[in-house]
Amino acid sequence: MWKNAIEDALQVTRSNIDRFGGRFPHVSNGDEHYVLNDNTEWTAGFWSGILWLCSEYTQDPLYREAAVRTVDNFRGRMERKSIFDHHDIGFLYSLSSKAQWIVERDPAARDLTLEAADMLMKRWREESGLIQAWGRKGDVNNGGRIIIDCLLNLPLLLWAYEQTHNEEYRRVAKLHAEKSRRFLVRGDDSSYHTFYFDQATGEAIRGGTHQGYNDGSTWTRGQAWGIYGFALCSRYLQSAEMFETARRLARYFIAHVPEDHVAYWDFDAPQTSETKRDSSASAIAACGILEIAERLDPTDPERQFFLDAVQNSMASLVQNYSTHGSETEEGLLKHGSYSVRGGDSPDDYVIWGDYFYLEALMRLERGIPGYWYDRRSNGRQ
Ligand code: GLY
């Protein structure tokens, strides 16, 4: 089943290279077309990552050339400095220039990725001990705010440490991950989307949400970012505690998905026939749970439980949520939600959903793990 689903995805991607031209897909808006932009959104790296995955899988120069063009575009983005105002530099450059470094050992791609890591370091706030997700330094609402999504940006810093042995990258990533573990993960293994701290002192204020159902709810994509983010940080930092946190979040996720194994947009949203799904949350969680399961000892009874959960959710995504067989649709996965709360693409394609869907398929079919860590060093420092 995985192989056929990958073949379908390769076809869609091949057509999308022409359809998108040099532009970048973000989300759809109620139809079967992606809204395109000139590499201005936080999501542009996912298109690059899809192209690198297709290139690795097929060795077809068509995908590689398109992937390299996206990296060139990311060089331009760095020069334009249009990435200053948020933390998603990790998403952007891990899957574009870092992917090229991982696949081809291209020195210019390595230099660009290190520049991106330095850019992300500018969002570290020593006074409060956190990486500021959104807004400018001192911003009244966002200056002392962390969000769980940031965990996927940390591998950029941890990779930079691996490359340079500059301790500062690792220190910052570790402190931020530890703070996230302490304040975003709750005792019942659910999670806050965001948490506020006093900007001057770092004193904890309260948990909250941005895209979830309410401040105390568990936004499913946030939980998925937590599963994969803590699993990746634990790989780099060799932290048993963080690995255990990833496992806890994974257990919660698996226990709370509905019968068809694909998550609603928030675990606490009332469930009716109208409740939206977030297929992207299930795709991200699948990648994170695979990252966990593959590192568990084969005798660990939870290993098979995790692998079965991935099998179930991916089979459901392929059969019930993917666009397989369609020649006109531009997305790989239907029924993603950007923000149900904000009414922003609540039941649409979202390019990160497509990326993680393909990453999970390629892990399952060929053991290609995406571009969050360097396979040669295995992310171990
Ligand atoms: N990282 C932004 C989102 O998941 O919507």
What's the pLDDT tens digit per position in 71-92?
A: 999 999 999 876 667 899 999 9
pLDDT of residue 84: 64
Q: How close is the Cα of 67 to the center of ligand 1, in Å?
A: 23
* Ligand 1 neighbours by CB, cut-off 6 Å: 149, 211, 221
As a dihedral over the C-alpha atoms of residue 190, residue 348, residue 331, residue 231, rounded to 10 degrees, the angle is -10
CB of 289 closer than 8 Å to CB of 310 = yes
For the chain, which residues make up each domain, given as ranges?
2-366
pLDDT of residue 304: 98
Strand partners, 339: 344
The ligand 1 atom at the shortest distance from the C-alpha of residue 221 is 4
- Residue 278 falls in the annotated catalytic set: no
Q: Does domain 2-366 have CATH number 1.50.10.10?
A: yes
| Cα distances (Å, whole numbers) of residue 38 to 23, 26, 54, 105 | 5, 10, 22, 26
- Residue 149 falls in the annotated catalytic set: yes
| pLDDT exceeds cutoff 60 at 24 | yes
Residue by residue, DSSP assigns 260-291 as TS--BSBTTS---TTPPB-HHHHHHHHHHHHH
Q: How close is the Cα of 300 to the center of ligand 1, in Å?
A: 32
pLDDT of residue 82: 63
Among residues 8, 31, 38, 149, the one annotated as catalytic is 149
Gap between the Cα atoms of 138 and 178, Å rounded: 23
Atom 5 in ligand 1: residue holding the nearest Cα: 338
CB of 39 closer than 8 Å to CB of 81 = no
Gap between the Cα atoms of 363 and 286, Å rounded: 10
CB of 137 closer than 8 Å to CB of 124 = no
Predicted TM-score (pTM) of this structure: 0.98
pLDDT of residue 378: 64
Atom 1 in ligand 1: residue holding the nearest Cα: 149
Residue by residue, DSSP assigns 337-354 as -SBTTTTBSSSB-BHHHH
Average per-residue pLDDT for the chain? 96
Atom 2 in ligand 1: residue holding the nearest Cα: 149
Test site for ligand 1: of 88, 184, 352, most ligand atoms within 8 A of the Cβ: 352
Test site for ligand 1: of 211, 339, 341, 354, most ligand atoms within 8 A of the Cβ: 211
Task: Provide the angle, in degrees to the nearest 10, between the axes of the packed helices 61-80 and 44-58.
Answer: 150
* pLDDT tens per residue across span 169-227: 999 999 999 999 999 999 999 999 999 999 999 999 999 999 999 999 999 999 999 99
The per-residue b/e assignment along 122-152, b for 16 or more CB within 10 angstroms, e otherwise, is: ebbbeebbbbbbbeeeeeeebbbbbbbbbbb
User: What single-letter amino acid sits at 108?
Assistant: A
Burial tier of 247 (Cβ tally within 10 Å: 0-12, 13-18, 19+)? buried
> How many helices (DSSP H) and strands (DSSP E) are in the chain?
13, 7
